[in-house]
Amino acid sequence: MAVDEEREIEVVVQRIADRFPGLDTGDVRAQVLAELEVFGDAHVRDFVPVLVENAVMDTLRASMDPEPLAPSGED
């Protein structure tokens, strides 16, 4: 991984950790690095940090969203 990409990945980790303060930064970093492996063979690396951030954010949002309430009958 290039130095610039490493720096960008650390920014991604911090942004996600700031957005989800209840999560340990080490856990966030582990999830980001796991997602980064998905893009290991990508030839064009410019958008990898953004794609990783979006994927991790989607996963975290989905895991933290409460169950939808059943619609109440309107009278």
pTM, rounded to two decimals: 0.81
> Does residue 67 register a pLDDT over 80?
no
Q: State the total domains in the chain.
A: 1
Q: Is residue 31 part of a domain?
A: yes
**Token pair listed for 12:** 């991604």
Residue 32's nearest CA partner among 42, 23, 22, 44 is: 23
- Distance, in Å, from the CA atom of 35 to the CA atom of 6, rounded to the nearest integer, reads 14
Which pLDDT does position 66 carry in this prediction? 62
> Does residue 72 register a pLDDT over 80?
no
Domain region containing 51: 3-64
**Token pair listed for 37:** 């492996």
Residue 59's nearest CA partner among 5, 25, 20 is: 20
Give per-residue pLDDT as tens, 27-52: 999 999 999 999 999 999 999 999 99
Q: Is residue 47 part of a domain?
A: yes
